[in-house]
Structure 1
Amino acid sequence: MATRVLIIEDEKVVGEAIAEALLSAGFEPRWVRTLADAPDPEGFAAVVLDRMLPDGDGLELLDVWKGCGMALPVVVLTGRTGLADRLDAFEAGAIDWLPKPFFPQELVARLRARIAPAGAGPLVSGGLAVDPDTAEVRVQGEAVSLTPQQLAMLVLLMRRAGRVTRRSQLSEASERTVDSQIARLRQHLGPEGARIRTIRGLGYRFD
């Protein structure tokens, strides 16, 4: 069964281009044009969310989902390119951000990097266990609560264990913001956090 991706985008040309690119890449897109038409995100592997919609700011919906414990990957699209706008998206729970205009193929590539392959199952390494499908993280058997951004970063680092992951691969945010997120992630992981090593001038590596 194809991986389902929800698109919330009011611009016809943009929405059609995203849906076509996702369909060509083997995904099953569902496209709506307003916040009111957005279905329950349950059953979707990821969401592509525009900020400026006819009935409000897309981040308002993201805030609601976040409050309900939703942890699936959300990529925010926006014509606003200021640092404050990017930070607003990440603070609302988005894991990635793309400025308009953009190439639909790049969006597809970003989604592929964030969505767990079907049947991939939990990631287990030492005392750390992560289930991307349920957003469950355990350290030495104890449940740990992470933000969607921190979870996405941890999953990517674990999948690339032993290899350097650049800051730009982890997030579109500034290097300082990425470093801050990694610092918080390490704190949440306790002794397992030391396994996320800083590779000076390059990024991070999970050992």
Structure 2
Amino acid sequence: MKSITLLIVALFYLNAGFAQETTIHKHRLNNQIIEKISVLKSNKGIRQGLYQAVTDKNIAVASGNFLNDKKTGVWHFYDRHGHLLQNYDYTNKALLFEAVEDTTSNLRYFVDKLLTDTDHTTKPVKAGGRYFGYLPYVNAFKLPANLMDISRIVSYAVVELLVSPGGRLADFKVHIFSGNYEKVFNMNTDMPNEEDKVFIPATLNGEPIGCRIMIKCNIDYDGGLELL
């Protein structure tokens, strides 16, 4: 009995040694979203513990956990109204749930192939869901100074992403439409975070296929883009 007690005590101190104090760091992701990130007190560059992204109305759009600065376990992703869009298991790299996308979605998908009624297709999927998962591409663009005076009432943007059959970001453009005017901006596909280059690819009859995703966005008064 004494040896078992000593073992329990030893394990307690061993686990306590691995436990590290954390603090909450807040960061504005864009004009609508605030990140609440648990980071180590000893190294604020290391994310450890709970992560939440919430709107200014305190509606969660993402929640999950970090372990040693890596996403771990099941994360939950929502739209800006708080409706669940996706559950993704980062430990096993597995999509657990993806909400049905209806005709009100601001995303459209195109393949360079004439489809028949007998073809079976699946769309590309982004870990992070159809709202939070696409924020990195939306946040990457800002209107240049010479276009800041365009009317926001008659203007909108379309973010175009080409996903390769291998599930990689192959092309990235932003189209600006204002009345009869259109301007196309070629964006850098070398995103700062590796995970923003990776998708679950579209399929055609069970085989991966390249697919373009078109995302309609509003243009805010600071020149940034807002997902609808």
Instruction: With the length of structure 1 as denominator, give the TM-score of the two structures.
Output: 0.28
More helix by share: 1
More strand by share: 2
Larger radius of gyration: 2
Instruction: With the length of structure 2 as denominator, give the TM-score of the two structures.
Output: 0.27
